Amino acid sequence: MNARPGLDQLGLSSGKKARLHRILHEHGLRNGTALFLPYDQGLEHGPRDFFANPVASDPKYILGLAIEGGFNGIAIQIGLAEKFYWDYAGEVPLVLKLNGKTDIPSTIDPLSPTNATVEDAVRLGADAVGYTLYLGTPAQERDFAQYRQVRADARRLGMPLIVWSYPRGSAVDAKGGKDSFYEVDYAARAASELGADMVKVNFPHPEKQSGAAEPYLADFSSQQAIDAVVRSANRTLLLVSGGERAGDEAMLDKARQSMEAGATGLIFGRNVWQREHSESLRFVAQLRDILTKYPSR
Amino acid sequence: MNARPGLDQLGLSSGKKARLHRILHEHGLRNGTALFLPYDQGLEHGPRDFFANPVASDPKYILGLAIEGGFNGIAIQIGLAEKFYWDYAGEVPLVLKLNGKTDIPSTIDPLSPTNATVEDAVRLGADAVGYTLYLGTPAQERDFAQYRQVRADARRLGMPLIVWSYPRGSAVDAKGGKDSFYEVDYAARAASELGADMVKVNFPHPEKQSGAAEPYLADFSSQQAIDAVVRSANRTLLLVSGGERAGDEAMLDKARQSMEAGATGLIFGRNVWQREHSESLRFVAQLRDILTKYPSR
Amino acid sequence: MNARPGLDQLGLSSGKKARLHRILHEHGLRNGTALFLPYDQGLEHGPRDFFANPVASDPKYILGLAIEGGFNGIAIQIGLAEKFYWDYAGEVPLVLKLNGKTDIPSTIDPLSPTNATVEDAVRLGADAVGYTLYLGTPAQERDFAQYRQVRADARRLGMPLIVWSYPRGSAVDAKGGKDSFYEVDYAARAASELGADMVKVNFPHPEKQSGAAEPYLADFSSQQAIDAVVRSANRTLLLVSGGERAGDEAMLDKARQSMEAGATGLIFGRNVWQREHSESLRFVAQLRDILTKYPSR
Amino acid sequence: MNARPGLDQLGLSSGKKARLHRILHEHGLRNGTALFLPYDQGLEHGPRDFFANPVASDPKYILGLAIEGGFNGIAIQIGLAEKFYWDYAGEVPLVLKLNGKTDIPSTIDPLSPTNATVEDAVRLGADAVGYTLYLGTPAQERDFAQYRQVRADARRLGMPLIVWSYPRGSAVDAKGGKDSFYEVDYAARAASELGADMVKVNFPHPEKQSGAAEPYLADFSSQQAIDAVVRSANRTLLLVSGGERAGDEAMLDKARQSMEAGATGLIFGRNVWQREHSESLRFVAQLRDILTKYPSR
Amino acid sequence: MNARPGLDQLGLSSGKKARLHRILHEHGLRNGTALFLPYDQGLEHGPRDFFANPVASDPKYILGLAIEGGFNGIAIQIGLAEKFYWDYAGEVPLVLKLNGKTDIPSTIDPLSPTNATVEDAVRLGADAVGYTLYLGTPAQERDFAQYRQVRADARRLGMPLIVWSYPRGSAVDAKGGKDSFYEVDYAARAASELGADMVKVNFPHPEKQSGAAEPYLADFSSQQAIDAVVRSANRTLLLVSGGERAGDEAMLDKARQSMEAGATGLIFGRNVWQREHSESLRFVAQLRDILTKYPSR
């Protein structure tokens, strides 16, 4: 288990520290852990994701859920932020997602174009911005260039930057795959090298070894893998993504191992809102029970 | 008594609402009232203000006092914000005071030059900016021009703007004086007309009538005066200034009448920190007892 | 005696900390103290200052003296920096003085116009910039505006900002005078409120009380006065100016009391180079003997 | 053997000379030689490089090693510089690496996108910037355009520019290969022609002749090859890269021949930190023994 | 006598050195001395200056004279440069005078506004620019601000900057007067502190002591005075102005003493062209005889 560092040990500027303090210590469990609600699937996947629980199609419902469930923040695109955040402004921290794409064209070698700026986030009263970086695609060069501007603006304005660090593309598929230990570990490190304040990664699968770099071919437990991933992120706080809806026990296990490894928290969307309201809250309560055991300064 | 409006009734943008929500509902009494600690006297008056309680010379002490006393915000200049706010970033809202001056040269017709920008405030993680507007001086024209930039930037970045609205100058002295009902009422209204989100005024003195406009020459109680001042500010939230150290009972009366009139809160500096620590906290507790009776949404 | 803070306790950015580390820990006594050599008198007073020791007219001689004497930095104007610093680039830290004026026109209410930028300082390899702020003059407003740009650029580029904080003008003359305890104390505090990283002040004279603010009318020793001035500067490191050539014992006393009070160091020009070479070095050795007793991190 | 020129013989501006003086004469052996620690492998190769010595995954450990080992500088990416350099700001010179990429997508014809600017380097207190130029790839045109901005900014701000000059791509593979004498010699010269202040090259292999230009087909010793490479760099100081971990004797031979040829120093990363701490220091001591024999002004 | 430094000892950039090399070593006597022809009197004084020799009113005549007389450069305003320099472009170096004024309004406290830019000078093929700085006037602040831009542009474009450094104003009149040793010495030094590459001063009069600073009240010969002035200018090359038409022997004496003191040359206008052509050339020949005795690198 890695010790989770306090906010004063991360080399943060005053503005980033103030905003992360709000997220981690003035919302949610107020103990330095985080539970984020991502809600950009309407753009990324389309409304198909809402058929399992049609009310989830309504952004106002989701914002209410974020508040009722005691989330540390909600991650949405500019359009929903402009039209829905005012109603609850300040009641739950806003993470403005700055880029996004549809999944209609081929997503083999994706790039996610920005549709909003860090200044938009400031103007709306957001406490962080989110950026999806697709590592390993042939478009990596353009992605890095686009990301560089976001990073520089976030620094200039004291806005915490959360990187959705996702290995993608045919090269990734050939080297372990997007949720292999090798690729997830690389993704965490790359975000840290490129200046993310938080990084969102998939939970690593050490058994996916086909094509992975040599050191990853040994026999690692999933706990060992997530431990290593948190270490690779060093002073970049780590969030583990829920991904597609899966069995509750599997999700809770993933959560426990992540927190045990020193992650700062979880970012679970579909596993939360792709079910009926009271079921959502019951599942969230279980996640909070886990987070409550891992306080930090 | 005026009913104090909720944040959703003020015509605020999303960012301003989010930040005012934090100030008014996530700090202090969390009931929509505000108790601010102003600490720019080191520049405005020099260290002489600290001789009554030498430890008050230390900005770190004052920040600690703001947190221990449960203040809704602390108002400081850029130099102290840059060097001291990081230690407590996010723990108490920062109001970055954007202009200031020394009192060494003649202050008959003052103008307070800006020394920081709204973007500095964003960068440092502030939740509001403060601007001193000297109404009625011959320099009013340059003052308005300087203010206009601040207001425009505050709007662009969703940053609440608190105006220290102070009648000053020889013309003011000849028309009631800087804390006459006439001048204070005018100051509250002018701030509202010019786009302040909050306005800080002195408590009005209806008995100071020499030179005041005709309608102010009648017999008004101080409660009637402050009622009128709050009405003049309309959707601009009103803060009453403590001013120089005075007797506790007088200060508490001023506070009661202000809150009864519909003020949002108080901004008391020297009356708080120009005394020994436990005395400061005892006085603050009395102020909080008053504020607790005036909740709003 | 105040404890002098380490560089990690000052709220410095990475660039400012790196450059101050170089000045305070990689030059001079390398113990956190500073001895600066100011050499802008050729502009401020004209060549008359060099008649006492004609070789001092040659900037190359002065740069050599700064190195031989083990100074922590030399403060010069852009013209000399452009033409002379290259020869010794990096061997002694450069403090580029950004403003200056001649003393030919009336200096009753002075303003010192900038003649170089922080970017010039970066380009030349300087480790700090200097700015003369004349507090209390009628030109204070324009001075603050000019200063604001310098401060913002220094922050943006991570360049330490040393403020020559000088009370001046007829109002100052009427309120204690430019080296009274009241005015010097105010000057130290104002520099701190306005964001200086270091402040250069004259040694305070508590006996000059005519017109000073009330709290300064008591009986203070000069040690008590300089103690208070250092406290007023809080996280802004304090340098005591030598001023005009005076008796060595008086200067050494001033130095001792300043360091005892928690000053970071001394900035002595004419008292150093207005004498023959070996005499200069002998005097510098005495100053170093004092500084060596006051190490800090 | 080529005589290594002094800093005053290189046509440097004042700022570049000051910063190189700091690197070469105020750190390391302080004799004009350099030993740099490169630590951008976390981005370039991923965390797999840290498995041989897991503590090397921690940037704080590496910074400490750079200081304990007496290195002249450490080369890192913006993310690590922002979050870790503050702790040791100024204690070891920072070389901010301005571009970088992952090795997940095909690296046959690489281009390394910039993720930071020369102004970032100034702001962080860096003493040099690093840029990887891939000579010979089909992307050379875009690479040169990107490099041109870096060079111009470095000149404007007086920041030394170190070029990682790496022949790469299918054309290079067909003409001797990336570490052939022909390609390395070309790389050294190209960096000099394009305005690098220092150039980092691989040690040249004169026996790799397949496809090389005609004059390189003769029988050269490795000493003759590195002599020629240093001459090709002329006033651009030359650093020899360590590359992958190899046998100590081979590395020390490479170091000796390089210094004998007139190189300024070495930039060894994996060969240093891919081993246990005391082993690292022992190897560094051997490198320092070599460098100590090659002083220059 | 001061030794005159070579161009490689002045801390010049490449562009400034190249252009000064052209002026000092490829025109005139080609021995490092300079004889400039100033011709801006048409603006400064009006056509009255041409009545003594009406053909001097024709800029083409004056350009021809500059070439025939073997001058090192001609200093003219933008209007004449635009319309007349083309005819002789490159045959005699152009010094574009960037500011100027008429003498119709009161000249007690003058400021000379710029009417052209350094970029104009580049465009026209000039080898230097000229700027008149009036030291000591109440307008000094605006003058410095205007000058700062010229200096920065000259640096950026590698253009030598010649400062007409003229003490002026009521304060100057009260402190020795504009051609007193005290004021001229100050003017030379101020130009050097402010970054001039060459400075044009009046010949100093040590006997004008009324109101001068104390060190100037002793008994100095004019040779001692000009020696001191050249030393004050240090690496700023010094030109002595001819001023109003005077007796030839007095002018030649002034020239001899100046060159003996280490001046770089002379800038004589009215004394040259306020007489008939062959007389002009005869006088010029006498000046050249003097300059030929003072070669430098």
The residue annotated as part of the active site, out of B131, B134, B147, B166, is: B166
Q: Quote the percentage of chain D above a pLDDT of 70.
A: 100
Mean pLDDT of the A136-147 span = 92
**E293, E257 Cβ separation under 8 angstroms:** no
Average pLDDT over residues D127-136: 96
**C59 in contact with chain E, both atoms CB, cutoff 8 A:** yes
Q: How confident is the model at residue C245 (pLDDT cuts 50, 70, 90)?
A: confident
In angstroms, the separation between the Cα of residue D104 and the nearest Cα of chain A is: 5
Inspect the interface and report whether the beta carbons of C14 and D122 lie closer than 8 Å: no
**Is D88 a catalytic site residue?**
no
Measured distance CA(B266)–CA(E47) in Å, rounded: 72
| Chains sharing 3 or more CB pairs under 8 A with chain D | A, C
Q: What Rg value do the Cα atoms of chain C yield, rounded?
A: 18
- Residue B24 burial (C-beta neighbours within 10 Å; 0-12, 13-18, 19+): buried
In this complex, the chains that touch A, judged by 3 or more CB pairs closer than 8 A, are B, D
Q: Which residues of D touch C67 (CB under 8 A)?
A: none
CA B82 to chain centre: 21
Please answer yes or no on whether B79 and C193 come within 8 Å at the CB atom. Answer: yes
Size of chain A in residues: 297
Interface test with A, best of D39, D40, D104, D143 (most A CBs within 10 A): D104
> Is residue C11 within 8 angstroms of chain E, CB to CB?
no
Q: Under an 8 A CB cutoff, do C48 and E182 touch?
A: yes
What count of residues does chain D have?
A: 297
**Inter-chain residue contact B102 with C190, CB threshold 8 Å:** yes
* Helix orientation angle between E277-291 and E248-261, rounded to the nearest 10 degrees: 30
B:C CB pairs within 8 Å? 116
Please give the average per-residue pLDDT across B166-187, as a whole number. Answer: 95
From the list B82, B84, B104, the residue facing C171 with the nearest CB is: B104
Neighbouring chains of B at 3+ CB pairs under 8 Å are A, C
pTM of the predicted model as reported, rounded to 2 decimal places: 0.96
User: Are the beta carbons of D168 and D179 closer than 8 angstroms?
Assistant: no
B156 touches chain A (CB under 8 A): yes
Contact with chain C for residue D122, Cβ under 8 A: yes
Q: How far is D191 from chain A (nearest CA, A)?
A: 23
**A140, A147, A192 ranked by CB distance to D102: nearest:** A140
Residue C111 C-alpha, separation from nearest chain E C-alpha, in angstroms: 8
CB contact under 8 Å between E189 and C43, yes or no, is: yes
pLDDT over 80 at E2, yes or no: no
- Residue E109, pLDDT above cutoff 90: no
Distances (CA, A) of A68 to A28, A58, A128, A270, A284: 10, 15, 21, 17, 10
- C145 at interface of E, judged by CB pairs closer than 8 A: no
Strand partners, A240: A201, A266
State whether D14 and C156 contact (CB < 8 Å).
no
Query: What average pLDDT is seen over chain B?
Result: 96
Supply the Cα-derived Rg of chain E in whole angstroms.
18
Per-residue pLDDT reduced to its tens digit, A163-191? 999 999 999 999 999 999 999 999 999 99
Packed helices A59-68 and A277-291: angle between N→C axes, nearest 10 degrees: 40
C199/C164 Cα distance (integer angstroms): 6
The answer to whether the CB of B113 falls within 8 A of the CB of C149 is: no
Tens digits of per-residue pLDDT, E203-221? 999 999 999 999 999 999 9
Of the partner residues C136, C148, C231, the one whose CB lies closest to the CB of residue B102: C136
Residue D286 has pLDDT above 90, yes or no: yes
Q: Looking at B6-10, C106-110, C261-265, E93-97, which range is the least confident one?
A: C106-110
Residue C193's closest chain B neighbor by CA?
A: B79
- B40–chain C nearest CA distance, Å: 8
- ipTM of the complex model: 0.95
Set of chain B residues whose Cβ sits within 8 Å of the Cβ of A30: none
Residue D296 has pLDDT above 80, yes or no: yes
Distance from CA of A143 to the nearest CA of D (A): 9
Residue with tokens 């005589």: D3
Query: Measured between alpha carbons, how far is B101 from B117 in angstroms, rounded to an integer?
Result: 16
For residue E226, report the phi and psi dihedrals to the nearest 5 degrees. -65, -35
Q: What is the pLDDT of residue A1?
A: 60
Answer whether C30 touches D (CB < 8 Å): no
The structure tokens listed for E102 are 């008429």
- Structure confidence at residue D213 as a pLDDT band (50, 70, 90): very high
Best mutation target among D122, D156, D297 (most C Cβ atoms within 10 Å) is D122
Q: Which of B16, B200, B208, B254 is catalytic?
A: B200
Residues in D touching A231 (Cβ below 8 Å): 54, 57-58
Q: Given CA atoms C142, C143, C144, C150 in this order, what sign does their dihedral have?
A: positive
SS3 of C39, please?
coil
- Over residues E267-285, the mean pLDDT reads 96
Query: Which band of pLDDT confidence, cut at 50, 70 and 90, is reported for residue A107?
Result: confident
pLDDT at B244 over 90: no
Per cent of chain B over pLDDT 70 is 100
Measure the CA–CA gap between D158 and E12, rounded to whole angstroms.
Answer: 15
CB contact under 8 A, C232 and B106: no
Quick one: which H or E segment has residue E290? helix E277-291
User: In this complex, which of D54, D80, D120 lies closest to A193 when CB atoms are compared?
Assistant: D80
Rama region for D14: left / alpha / beta (φ>0; ψ in -120 to 50; rest)? alpha
E113, E122 contact by CB (below 8 A): no
Chain A residue with Cα closest to D47: A186
Q: Is E139 exposed, middle or buried (0-12, 13-18, 19+ CB in 10 A)?
A: middle
Q: Can you tell me the distance from the alpha carbon of A4 to that of A198, in angstroms, rounded to the nearest whole number?
A: 13
Q: List, for residues B116-145, the tens digit of each pLDDT value.
A: 999 999 999 999 999 999 999 988 889 999
Question: Can you state the percent helix, strand and coil of chain B, rounding each to 5?
Answer: 45, 15, 40
Task: Give the residue among B137, B136, B127 at the shortest CA–CA distance from B162.
Answer: B127
Chain B within 8 Å of C180 (Cβ-Cβ)?
no
Which is nearest to C279 in space by CA: C125, C53, C35? C53
Q: Which amino acid is at A125?
A: G
Residue E53 contacts by C-beta under 8 Å, 6 or more apart in sequence? Answer: E273, E274, E275, E276
Interface of C with B in 235-264 (CB under 8 A): 235-236
Strands A128-135 and C94-97: unpaired
Q: For the segment E231-275, what is each residue's pLDDT rounded down to a tens digit?
A: 999 999 999 998 888 899 999 999 999 999 999 999 999 999 999
Res B1: pLDDT = 60
State whether residue C192 sits within 8 Å of chain B by CB. yes
- The closest CB to that of C47, out of E10, E189, E196, belongs to E189
pLDDT at residue number D235: 96
Sign, CA dihedral B274-B279-B285-B289, equals: negative
Beta bridge mates, B237: B198
pLDDT at E66: 98
The yes-or-no verdict on residue C201 having pLDDT over 90 is yes
Which of E136, E194, E228 lies nearest to residue C115, judging by beta carbons? E194
DSSP string, B192-242: HHTT-SEEEEPPPBTT--TT--GGGGS---HHHHHHHHHHHHTTSEEEEE-
Q: What is the DSSP letter of E7?
A: G
The segment with the largest mean pLDDT, out of A113-127, A137-151, A235-249, is A113-127
pLDDT, mean of residues D59-67: 98
Whether E and C touch, i.e. at least 3 CB pairs below 8 A, reads as: yes
Measured from the Cβ of residue D40, the count of other Cβ atoms closer than 10 Å reads 20
Residue with tokens 């020369």: D118
Does residue E61 have an active-site annotation?
Answer: no
- Average pLDDT over chain D, rounded to whole? 96
DSSP C184-205: HHHHHHHHHHTT-SEEEEPPPB
Chain A residue with minimal CA distance to B156?
A123
Q: What is the predicted pLDDT for the residue at D232? A: 96
Q: CB distance D43–A145 less than 8 Å?
A: no
Chain C hits for E17, CB-CB cut-off 8 Å, are none
